[in-house]
Chains A and B, each alone.
Chain A
Amino acid sequence: MREKVATNRFALECHGLSKRFAGLEAVKNVTLQIAPGERRGIIGPNGAGKTTLFRLISGEFPVTSGTVRLFDQDVTRVPCHRRTHMGLGRTFQITNLFPTMTILDNLVVAAMGQRGMKFSMLRPLSTYRDLYQQAEQVLENVGMTERRGEIVKNLSHGEQRQIEISLALISNPKVLLLDEPTAGLSPAESTMMTEILKKLDSSMTILIIEHDMDVAFQVADRITVLHLGCLFAEGTPSEVRNNSRVQDIYFGAEERPC
């Protein structure tokens, strides 16, 4: 399906995004503008509201106020699954796979997400060869072809993180939200993951939350720093790296950010 060529050329926009949970404001008035193909790193100390922000963008949580626009379309009220059909993809910080299924089945279910045939009730799934080919292709990309029949919960953590990303990538999202892709990985695995991230399709817009600064600074074109729910700072990796106030918030200096 061809999208209209919009004059306002942001892939993802958040305006005054806020989320309140019964007395706690997890996200306060965050405004972001991400250009197509941009790699934006989202960093900030614990409790900064990064994952909550992702959940507002993906639609898992409803916003308290503010808007989210995807390719210039207001999606603030659009349900989560519809945003996926509009080109959004997401990975989870805590690995979120289908633990009882095989690797292959995980990928097949992921590939099926935006297809109409997912409502087919009488024809066996195994007869949809194109789905399986798509899954096999991804399996090849991550080098797990012979392991397709393994149950996912028996994989190592690093392997599961790879599948986690593959699930999001299989449907070729236009905007990808990566939530701490290197969470729990060893330094060697992190390096491998960083290489994978750098090689992702350059036309894909990526938001990446990371705690590992090296990864964030290597992968991102621009960095947004969140602190206590607010947008604290923004800039290129080197600007942010040299920003002493950013260093301060990580070392716990009190800082009332907004």
Chain B
Amino acid sequence: MLERLQPRGWMMVGIAVAAIFLLVGPLTLPTYVVILLTQSLIYAIVAMSLDILIGYTGLGSLGHAAFFAIGAYTTAIFITRSHVSFTGTLFLSIIAAAGASAIIGPLALRAAGVYFLMITLAIAMCIWGLAYRWVSLTGGDNGITGILRPDLGLPWTMKDPIHFYYLVLVFFLVCFILMFLLIRSPFGKTLVGIRDSESRMRVLGYNIFLHKYLAFVIAGAFAGVSGCLYVYYNSFVSPNEANLGHCMELVLMVTIGGPGTLVGPTFGAFIVVFLKNMVSVYTKRWLMVLALVYVVTALYAPDGITGLLKRLQTRRKLT
């Protein structure tokens, strides 16, 4: 039993340290760090949902940011026009994002491999275009502004970054637990089977399309949650949330963290968010730094940091 634990030992320690840091760190850190941590947690939710598709089902969905944007816009539109409650906007965002996935899924899933990558990206661009041009609904290029932090009727105001951080942390933990359960469930195992060998799964009696479709919609729903939280965080949403850069950034988060681990993409989200925000302080050429990260990750660490760690461990085991 012990030798089964040891290879994972460092991972477990790392996760424990991270968990403690996330729980109590914000009480002592400067505000701007707390704000970045909040943003990281929000993106971690959508990155994990993308990991379900990329890492676990083997579906390279490049357009996932579109569902994030749909969730964000749904919240923004309803909150600025109809004064819906926080839980109301959350619910509506989930429905909208999951609904869009449900409609887009059967079309996108007609393709496989690189075709699927391209089609999901193209569809995301259509959604971007919708947000950009449907000015009467979305405000077009100007986006929607003026979204205030939710009033939850609690003794702590969400306008305080630290309080809002803990709200987001609760959502992150709930989403993480749900996705973790999904991965461990029979359905989660079927997704891995599909990733490993569709042909084998088919002759074993699995309806491949149905499983992929469900995964697609579930991932879309979580992206909707993330989008909703983002709008309250940022108080502003623009079509850029669904542009090509954001679509690829989500993929980068999953890849740099390590696809198929759930924890990896969470780390990936933190890495990318902090990188983008901190590097731009030191140089105007932060896009080039980001470009370097893309290239280096793709060339040398395609299975991410968790993959690197695993390879280090197997090398240690052999020596």
Contacts and interface: CB of A to CB of B under 8 A. Distances in A.
**Chains A and B are bound partners:** yes
Interface of A: 58, 60, 79-81, 84-85, 88-90, 92, 96-101, 105, 108-110, 112-114, 117-126, 128, 167-168, 171
Interface string B163-205: 0000000000000001001101111111011001101111111
- Residue in A96, A98, A109, A123 with the greatest tally of chain B CB atoms within 10 Å: A109
A187 to B, nearest CB: 28
Contact of B197 (A89, A98, A105): A98
Given A96-B197, A118-B190, A125-B189, A80 B203 contact: yes
A109 B205 contact: no
A84 B186 contact: no
5 contacts: A79-B207, A81-B206, A119-B186, A119-B187, A168-B203
Contact of A92 (B185, B200, B208): B200
A159 to B, nearest CB: 17
Interface string B238-279: 000000000000000000000000000000000000000000
Contact of B204 (A84, A121, A122, A126): A84
A89 B203 contact: yes
Nearest to B193: A109
Contact of B189 (A81, A88, A112, A122): A112
Contacts of A128: 186
B184 A125 contact: yes
Contacts of B199: 60, 92, 96
Nearest to B260: A100
Contacts of B186: 112, 117-121, 123, 125, 128
A122 B185 contact: yes
A96 B181 contact: no
A92 B185 CA distance: 27
A118 B194 CA distance: 13
A110 B182 CA distance: 19
A108 B188 CA distance: 13
A81 B210 CA distance: 11
A105 B200 CA distance: 14
Contacts of B202: 60, 80-81
- Residue in A88, A97, A108, A124 with the greatest tally of chain B CB atoms within 10 Å: A124
Contacts of B204: 81, 84, 109-110, 113-114, 167, 171
B205 to A, nearest CB: 4
Interface string B13-51: 000000000000000000000000000000000000000
Contacts of B185: 120-125
B187 A60 contact: no
A180 to B, nearest CB: 15
A84 B199 CA distance: 13
Contact of B196 (A89, A98, A120): A98
Contacts of B203: 58, 60, 80-81, 84, 88-90, 168
Given A81-B207, A98-B192, A118 B187 contact: yes
B206 A124 contact: no
A122 B192 contact: no
B164 to A, nearest CB: 29
Contacts of A118: 186-187, 190, 206
Contacts of B218: 121
Given A108-B189, A122-B185, A125-B184, 13 more contacts: A60-B203, A85-B205, A99-B197, A101-B192, A109-B201, A109-B204, A114-B205, A118-B187, A118-B206, A121-B218, A122-B182, A125-B186, A125-B189
A60 B189 CA distance: 22
Nearest to A123: B185
Contacts of B181: 121-124
Contacts of B178: 122
Given A118-B186, A125-B186, A100 B206 contact: no
Given A121-B181, A124-B181, A98 B200 contact: yes
A100 B205 contact: no
Contacts of B192: 98, 100-101
Interface in B44-101: none
Given A121-B181, A122-B182, A167-B200, A81 B188 contact: no
A109 B192 CA distance: 10
A171 B200 contact: no
- Residue in A92, A97, A113, A168 with the greatest tally of chain B CB atoms within 10 Å: A113
B42 to A, nearest CB: 24
Contacts of A101: 192-193, 196
B187 A96 contact: no
Nearest to A149: B4
Contacts of A80: 202-203
